[in-house]
Structure 1
């Protein structure tokens, strides 16, 4: 959904990636009777024409380089769905909407008879949630107060030497230390942000985004609701969220990463609340991954649906149940920083965070006031399995935003806190390019105003660019986190003393000295890796790291 309707009150052609030809193809469909949408789960990727050794078949060069820089391997999970299976689903009478690489699944539209026949196919294992995803949603009204109007003329961007005239947006930018980030020359240049939302009404026409479009920094758009490329005629929620990152209006509103490039993806249907929107979120995240996005910003959340029998419970907010939460976790594992809204249910019966903010490795963002106190509507943590959630907080009450009529206004919601923080993450990563996505996430958490005493209201608190930068410098030494680790929270290793392209040999032993796992990593960036899931038993393990003449021995604990 978009919490309380949204988690707020208040183009150019896509990359020519081979798998997107399948993802975006329009298929003919002839059938009788009522049709519904189903996410059909497939058995395998056997006999696929794609190979992990040839990722250029289905990933952009930017996406491949993002993985290589972070020592992230191309997995079978990254391979597109077998085209033969898609053809057979189509021949069975289903309309093909989108395939999912990560879930090895295909979204189809079919009659009851057709879906029954499809479930008998030997390569089909079942249906996501064992039912149709075409259920439905409860909305609320966006609340915004106009505070000023934009003009047709624009002042030039600020420089490193001359601070920007943030005007009414000063407090929300300075609260994160993003003004200091801008003064140091980091505004998001060269970084790519994927925004997943409900639409970007009139974004290509409003004055406050004019530099973005004049400089052709919207690299691609796609609407997964309507299966078309345009995203500028639907809901305005995504536009307002985008404005907190990308707007440039002197003395009124500067976004936190206003010189970044963007991919704008519509995954949410503002007129209903259906689980199909979670599937759309999955497809949008996969699109972002393939296009080489660095940071995902998404102010969407899912708890309850129009069909109450399909709604989640708080116990489902465990990072493993909701489809969009599973998708968000995989997105982080491909090397993207994923920033999502915690939700606006703090004063409602639901009370808690929403999916996908319950995913382990995402940054779930709470809302605070100008004074830094929790906004009354901001959702509470922890996750159902007891992890710290939300992760961080940013200005979400009285946030300065842009509207589709060109006005500058204020709005309330974790929706607006989220892109503010996503812009901070973008500029911070730009300033520290050797970090991995996991390290960017960790540094921002550790920079939180209450990192030493996190709670279920603001998590680790309000992050800060300068504090995070100090932490990033300390990452130049050996960093192992978390320790103890678990199947849910994978172990990350970073050795900042190792020069680029120097092989790093990692070996894991049990306490009897038997080798459990070993691998060699060579990175053009920071020497870092994530220990794969080895289905280890709980206990103590020893890891050795060898790079040139340097050697480290670590004691690790698996929970």
Structure 2
């Protein structure tokens, strides 16, 4: 890990420090967008100026180009904004913009600059309104139950095959996971996390709400989330990826609910990208805000409208796997997923109970544009976690299903380093318990490490028989080398439940088997003659 280089990259890529302050009382915050990155002091040919070596390697492994979108914002544009007297904060490489605090006069001056395209959403980002905040926070960050139940830690891991994953030696080694959350109270003092510090597994921290590096205070929501991933006290509580490294980032303002938090999410995701994280877990979601004029509507959840969803999709485009909680609004009037769970190319995670049944609080899909959401599900009811007091307790929510799954995905990717992020996501979806019949409640269902490992094994066509294409479309072609008409050939297609769905004789050297009515999922194709049998793993997609 390039620990010594992390914070220099933070200052280079994420924000521009300054001293100017908007003096007028009506100053508000905006995300100012620029039209270009012309005359930048940075160049895509020298990415080490703004990306870590690890970030560059992640792109190279997945054949992802470094483009002008990755370049930091033009510093001269920021200086021009400062000259209006406005205050400039964090900047966004991906959106080519900057957080600006300005009064009406300053804003008009900024908007008149020739390289300023406008402001995101044509609205201020934050309007403080604390009415009913206590009630909302109680619903969003649910209190822990008082009675510990250590056995549930095994159940939540075993459900998705983490027990088998750990037995095979995949515990997240070499993987870097960023957590975007509300705070990590007492993480630096709790025994369950001590090994993280003893082994330098916490590679960085930052609070994007208060603009400081210390995150071990305030909300304990992130503490519980981290424990689902990183807890390591044998026979008491073990997370799904205890040997991974972690980047702890605070983006959630527990005192206010505003679009500014989505911008914080964007900036934090960019920071995580620049440091080379492999996965991002976010147990946050946004639907309504203190300023009702900025509330999202269901039609906005198409994966390309909200700030957070666009940010998550961009993170995915950089080769990062994002696991995102679907939301806890299933039994409310809203009922649908929150953002950024609607983003394309991410794993949005719903919740099931110990019997893999849908839990009614889980936000449902589909996305506004009809995609399957949530993507998958993991245990989210009565989940074993560590709290800020050092106790092991149980709690419920998709907030905890997401990190449980994230750790399994990290271990799976560790076991299959040749795969690209989107290939991993696809296999995790295909390993889901309801992949052939996705539902609005659980999407593709509960995935499993061993099923995913079976799907990830390369298909070989050595020997007497061949079967293609794979994945299957509307037909399977079976080819036989040195076909002998006097021999007897047959095939059998079996699903993962052991049921035969197709079978018959093979009478030609190249025979086509129609299967347009075959449901999506994993199948095993057995081809045999009088002396030999071969089995092929086939996917109908």
Specify if TM > 0.5: yes
What residue number does 2:439 align with? 455
What residue number does 2:154 align with? 170
Shift of 1:24: 4.3
Q: Does 1:73 align with 2:65?
A: yes
What residue number does 1:110 align with? 102
Structure 1 residues 357 and 66, CA, compared in 2 at 3 Å: closer, same or farther? same
CA contact (8 A) 1:443 1:471 kept: yes
Q: How does 1:269-288 map to 2 (within 5 A)?
A: 269-288=253-272
What residue number does 1:134 align with? 126
Shift of 1:420: 0.3
What residue number does 1:87 align with? 79
Q: Does 1:240 align with 2:234?
A: no
Q: Does 1:60 align with 2:52?
A: yes
Q: How far, CA to CA, are the matches of 2:405 and 2:386 in structure 1?
A: 17
CA contact (8 A) 2:303 2:310 kept: yes
Q: Which has the higher contact order (CA 8 A, sep 6+)?
A: 1
Q: How far, CA to CA, are the matches of 1:482 and 1:350 in structure 2?
A: 38
Q: How far, CA to CA, are the matches of 1:339 and 1:27 in structure 2?
A: 34
Q: Which of residues 12, 19, 31 in structure 2 aligns to 1:21?
A: 12
Compare CA radii of gyration and give the structure with the larger one: 2
Q: Which of residues 166, 171, 183 in structure 2 aligns to 1:187?
A: 171
What residue number does 1:342 align with? 326
Structure 1 residues 208 and 12, CA, compared in 2 at 3 Å: closer, same or farther? farther
Structure 1 residues 104 and 479, CA, compared in 2 at 3 Å: closer, same or farther? farther
Q: Does 1:225 align with 2:209?
A: yes
Q: Which of residues 365, 386, 391 in structure 1 aligns to 2:375?
A: 391
Q: Which of residues 350, 356, 359 in structure 2 aligns to 1:375?
A: 359
Q: How far, CA to CA, are the matches of 1:78 and 1:467 in structure 2?
A: 36
Q: What does the per-residue CA deviation read over 1:81-124, in whole Å, with 9 as the maximum and x for residues that have no partner?
A: 11111111111212111110000000111112111110111110
Q: Which of residues 252, 260, 274 in structure 1 aligns to 2:236?
A: 252
Shift of 1:17: 4.4
Shift of 1:18: 4.5
CA contact (8 A) 1:168 1:253 kept: no
CA contact (8 A) 1:38 1:108 kept: yes
Structure 1 residues 47 and 427, CA, compared in 2 at 3 Å: closer, same or farther? same
Q: How far, CA to CA, are the matches of 1:112 and 1:401 in structure 2?
A: 47
Structure 1 gaps, min length 5 = 1-10, 150-165, 485-559
Structure 1 residues 234 and 181, CA, compared in 2 at 3 Å: closer, same or farther? same
Structure 2 gaps, min length 5 = 462-467, 475-541
3-state SS, counterpart of residue 264 of structure 1:
strand
What residue number does 1:304 align with? 288
CA contact (8 A) 1:303 1:312 kept: yes
How many residues in Structure 1 have an aligned counterpart in Structure 2? 458
Structure 1 residues 270 and 12, CA, compared in 2 at 3 Å: closer, same or farther? farther
Q: Which of residues 400, 417, 421 in structure 1 aligns to 2:384?
A: 400
Structure 1 residues 407 and 423, CA, compared in 2 at 3 Å: closer, same or farther? same
CA contact (8 A) 1:135 1:276 kept: no
Normalising by the residue count of structure 2, what TM-score does the alignment of the two structures yield? 0.82
Q: How far, CA to CA, are the matches of 1:349 and 1:229 in structure 2?
A: 38
CA contact (8 A) 1:39 1:133 kept: yes
Q: Does 1:440 align with 2:424?
A: yes
Shift of 1:474: 3.5
Q: Does 1:424 align with 2:408?
A: yes
Structure 1 residues 386 and 447, CA, compared in 2 at 3 Å: closer, same or farther? same
Q: How far, CA to CA, are the matches of 2:428 and 2:258 in structure 1?
A: 33
Q: How far, CA to CA, are the matches of 1:479 and 1:245 in structure 2?
A: 38
Structure 1 residues 456 and 482, CA, compared in 2 at 3 Å: closer, same or farther? farther
Normalising by the residue count of structure 1, what TM-score does the alignment of the two structures yield? 0.79
Shift of 1:25: 4.4
Shift of 1:347: 0.2
What residue number does 2:344 align with? 360
Q: Does 1:206 align with 2:190?
A: yes
Q: What does the per-residue CA deviation read over 1:414-458, in whole Å, with 9 as the maximum and x for residues that have no partner?
A: 000000001011000001100011111111000001100001000
Q: How far, CA to CA, are the matches of 1:427 and 1:358 in structure 2?
A: 24
Q: What does the per-residue CA deviation read over 1:220-272, in whole Å, with 9 as the maximum and x for residues that have no partner?
A: 00110001111111211111101000001222211000110000000010111
